[in-house]
Amino acid sequence: MTVSGSTTLTPSFPLVFRSARPADGATLWRLVQGAGTLELNSQYFYLLLATDFGDTCLIAEHEGEAVGMVIGYQPPREPHTAFVWQVGLLPEHQGKGLGLRLLMAWLALPANTHCQWVTATVADDNTASQALFKRLARELETGCEVRPHFTADLFAHDHPAEPLYRIGPLARGAPARSD
């Protein structure tokens, strides 16, 4: 992917990006809980993700404190796809355009650089995430297809449908800038 002439990726807010490590399971759980808008899963689940999928999970730090994350993986049947499961920032860092910056840094992780597609499911009532993924497609100068995926009847409890957002194909020349 080539990103040129973009000022949205280099705001003055300094962040350090890195892949998750097994010790980051609790950090991921706290970030999801702290974001206030994400579905919280068990602490064990985040420990498993940090351990088994840490290479495709991103931690964003500001002045040594974890302030944001992208949790994702590559679906076994789609090895050239990077699936975004959760994106979150602590409330004091929300609304600053950092969501796009997190996604771009996540795509630049070594484990994701070969991916040609980004996918995510987004609840019908989650307009902020819908806008974020459409903005990602614009930033990457590629398409964003939205199609049915997880319909409401597939959930065990009252939950809105989650269509699949499929972004790509990605031009994977130079790695994305994350600074």
In a domain, 154, yes or no: yes
In a domain, 6, yes or no: no
* Residue 173 CB burial class (10 angstroms; 0-12, 13-18, ≥19): exposed
pLDDT value of position 13 = 77
In a domain, 21, yes or no: yes
pLDDT value of position 95 = 87
pTM summary value: 0.87
pLDDT value of position 25 = 97
pLDDT value of position 174 = 44
Note whether 167 and 144 are within 8 A (CB).
yes
Select from 164, 162, 150 the least CA-distant residue to 117. 164
In a domain, 2, yes or no: no
25, containing H or E segment: helix 25-35
Domain count across the chain: 1
Note whether 132 and 88 are within 8 A (CB).
no
In a domain, 124, yes or no: yes
C-alpha pair distances (Å), 5 with each of 8, 9, 23, 133: 9, 10, 36, 20
In a domain, 174, yes or no: no
Q: Which two tokens stand for residue 126?
A: 């989650």
In a domain, 10, yes or no: no
CATH of the domain at 78: 3.40.630.30
pLDDT value of position 173 = 54
C-alpha pair distances (Å), 173 with each of 113, 117, 177: 9, 14, 12
* Residue 28 CB burial class (10 angstroms; 0-12, 13-18, ≥19): buried
Per-residue pLDDT of the chain (179 residues; tens, 9 = 90+): 222 223 344 456 799 999 999 999 999 999 999 999 899 999 999 999 999 999 999 999 999 999 999 999 999 999 999 999 999 999 999 988 899 999 999 999 999 999 999 999 999 889 999 999 999 999 999 999 999 999 999 999 998 999 999 999 998 754 444 44
Find how far residue 151's CA is from the centre of its chain.
Answer: 21
pLDDT value of position 97 = 86
Which domain does 77 fall in, by range?
16-168
3-class SS letters over 27-43: HHHHHHHHHCCCCCCCH
Note whether 128 and 178 are within 8 A (CB).
no
